[in-house]
Structure 1
Amino acid sequence: MEGKEEDVRLGANKYSERQPLGTSAQSKVYKETAPAPLFEVCELQSWSFWRAGIAEYMATFLFLYITILTVMGVSKSNSKCSTVGIQGIAWAFGGMIFALVYCTTGISGGHINPAVTFGSFLARKMSLSRAIFYMVMQCLGAICGAGVVKGFQPSLYLTKGGGANVVNHGYTKGDGLGAEIIGTFVLVYTVFSANDAKRKARDCHVPILAPLPIGFAVFLVHLATIPITGTGINPARSLGAAIIYNKDHAWDDHWIFWVGPFIGAALAALYHQVIIRAIPFKTRN
Structure 2
Amino acid sequence: MEGKEEDVKLGANKFAERQPIGTSAQTDKDYKEPPPAPLFEPGELTSWSFYRAGIAEFIATFLFLYITILTVMGVKKSPKCNSVGIQGIAWAFGGTIFALVYCTAGISGGHINPAVTFGLFLARKLSLTRAVFYIIMQCLGAICGAGVVKGFEKNSIFETLGGGANIVNHGYTKGDALGAEIVGTFILVYTVFSATDAKRNARDSHVPILAPLPIGFAVFLVHLATIPITGTSINPARSLGAAVIYNRDHAWDDQWIFWVGPFIGAALAAAYHQIVIRAIPFKSRA
Q: Does TM, scored on the shorter chain, surpass 0.5?
A: yes
Q: 1:182 is matched with which residue? A: 183
Cα deviations across residues 194-253 of structure 1 (Å, max 9, x unaligned)?
A: 000112223347775110000000000000000000000000000000000000110111
Q: 2:174 is matched with which residue? A: 173
User: How many Å apart are 1:278 and its aligned residue?
Assistant: 2.4
User: Is the 2:195–2:209 contact (alpha carbons within 8 Å) kept by the matching residues of 1?
Assistant: no
Q: 1:17 is matched with which residue? A: 14
Q: 1:121 is matched with which residue? A: 121
Q: 1:243 is matched with which residue? A: 244
Q: Counterparts of 1:212 and 1:117 in 2: how far apart (Å)?
A: 18
Q: Counterparts of 2:189 and 2:74 in 1: how far apart (Å)?
A: 29
Q: 2:283 is matched with which residue? A: none
Q: Counterparts of 2:8 and 2:235 in 1: how far apart (Å)?
A: 54
Q: How does 1:212-223 map to 2 (within 5 A)?
A: 212-223=213-224
User: How many Å apart are 1:79 and its aligned residue?
Assistant: 7.0
Q: Counterparts of 2:254 and 2:105 in 1: how far apart (Å)?
A: 32
User: Is the 2:181–2:258 contact (alpha carbons within 8 Å) kept by the matching residues of 1?
Assistant: yes
Q: 2:90 is matched with which residue? A: 90
Q: Does 1:148 align with 2:145?
A: no
* TM-score with structure 2 setting the length: 0.89
The residue identity in structure 2 corresponding to 1:120 is: L
Q: How does 1:97-136 map to 2 (within 5 A)?
A: 97-136=97-136
Aligned CA distance change for structure 1 residues 20 and 174 (closer, same or farther; 3 Å): same
Cα deviations across residues 138-181 of structure 1 (Å, max 9, x unaligned)?
A: 00000000000000003321111011000000000000000000
Report SS of the residue matched to 1:277: helix
Q: 1:283 is matched with which residue? A: none
Aligned CA distance change for structure 1 residues 72 and 274 (closer, same or farther; 3 Å): same
Q: Counterparts of 1:207 and 1:125 in 2: how far apart (Å)?
A: 23
Q: Counterparts of 1:13 and 1:190 in 2: how far apart (Å)?
A: 35
Q: Counterparts of 2:6 and 2:263 in 1: how far apart (Å)?
A: 59
Q: Counterparts of 2:39 and 2:202 in 1: how far apart (Å)?
A: 26
Q: Counterparts of 2:57 and 2:132 in 1: how far apart (Å)?
A: 12
Report SS of the residue matched to 2:233: coil
Q: How many residue pairs are counted as aligned between the two chains?
A: 272
Q: 1:36 is matched with which residue? A: 37
Q: Does 1:270 align with 2:247?
A: no
User: How many Å apart are 1:12 and its aligned residue?
Assistant: 3.9
Q: Counterparts of 1:278 and 1:79 in 2: how far apart (Å)?
A: 51
Q: Counterparts of 1:173 and 1:10 in 2: how far apart (Å)?
A: 63
Q: Counterparts of 2:237 and 2:73 in 1: how far apart (Å)?
A: 18
Report SS of the residue matched to 2:272: helix
Worse overlay, 28-37 or 234-243: 28-37
Aligned CA distance change for structure 1 residues 224 and 205 (closer, same or farther; 3 Å): farther
**RMSD of the alignment, in Å?**
2.3
Aligned CA distance change for structure 1 residues 72 and 45 (closer, same or farther; 3 Å): same
Aligned CA distance change for structure 1 residues 11 and 43 (closer, same or farther; 3 Å): closer
* TM-score with structure 1 setting the length: 0.89
Cα deviations across residues 57-110 of structure 1 (Å, max 9, x unaligned)?
A: 0000000000000001011135763x5211000000000000000000000000
Q: Counterparts of 2:121 and 2:273 in 1: how far apart (Å)?
A: 13
